[in-house]
Amino acid sequence: MIDIDELDDKFSIEGEVGFAELEEDLAFVTVSNKYADADICLYGAHITSFRPQNNMDLLWLSPESSFEEGKPIRGGIPVCFPWFGPHKTDADKPQHGFGRLMYWDVLATSTNPAGESVVTLQLCSSEETKAFWPHDFCAEMTFVVGRTLTATLKVTNTSSEPFDYTCALHTYYSLSSIENIKIEGLKGITYYNQLTGEFDIQEEENLTIQEATTRHYLNTESVVVIDDPLFRRRIKASKTGSKVTTVWNPWEETCAQISDLPDAGYETFVCVEATNAFDYPIQLAPGESHETTAIIGLEE
């Protein structure tokens, strides 16, 4: 049982960082500073909202999302760890790993010299994690809430043997309409089309989405911009420590089959994800760490 009062006593920052039970009584870190507001759920180390001051939320959250243990939250930035997609050898293990299905501990909160709020959550190996994955590790999710949002997954190998893992920061961006937007920054990059099983190179200057799309752009650290003229904003998505950029929208037929998405939900979001998977897993020797970071904000 999470004690909100105890978390408040240890980690709150007056007028800036607090704790509350939101969304079916799940525990959240709430952040409000001169730059932005944000809500971060301790279940899954999952940020569900990032609202720059005087702007709409950059993140999309499904109105039909489950907020209960055993089910992932749909929207925001799910943390896919320690595998991306289905487990390679055991289909019964959870899609996208167990990181988004467990409570993370609050490690620290602070205000940096720029006045940004910093929140760090931690998940370390335990009997519960070893039921899914045999390795000793410590994972940290650090959120820096300022004019931009920086989300960093740091994984450390605390075992005596090397291991590898895959991961993603599976960001859902809020849109006026999927048919109105264009995605810049991916021209000339080879991608794996998961829906056809084929590889191709994007020749178009900008990606427009007019059908179900699951593309994994390979060996790229390019900055991506989501241009949304109806909302009069351009969302800039940059990253470090990630070699794959995943773009996903389920479109109408698949969306209707996903229980925690409204039938028309596909119209108002797109996922652009900082991923490490396929030919780009992360390999860690004992004591080594790796950081995967997504930085999102409005292009000014």
Q: Is 76 exposed, middle or buried (0-12, 13-18, 19+ CB in 10 A)?
A: buried
Are 139 and 151 contacting, i.e. CB atoms less than 8 angstroms apart? no
| DSSP state for residue 13 in the 8-state scheme | B
288 CB neighbour count, 10 Å cutoff = 13
d(CA 3, CA 6): 5
Contacts of 24 (CB under 8 A, 6+ apart): 67, 68
Catalytic: 273?
A: yes
User: In angstroms, how far apart are the furthest CA atoms of the chain?
Assistant: 54
Q: Is 128 a catalytic residue?
A: no
- Name the active-site residue from 46, 170, 198, 288: 170
Question: Are 253 and 263 within 8 A, CB to CB?
Answer: no
Among 152, 160, 96, 168, smallest CA distance to 134 is for 160
Please report, as a single letter, which amino acid is at residue 266.
Answer: Y
The whole-angstrom separation of Cα 71 and Cα 24 is 13
Of the residues 273, 291, 299, 300, only one is catalytic, namely 273
CA distance 119 to 36: 14
Q: Catalytic residue positions?
A: 170, 273
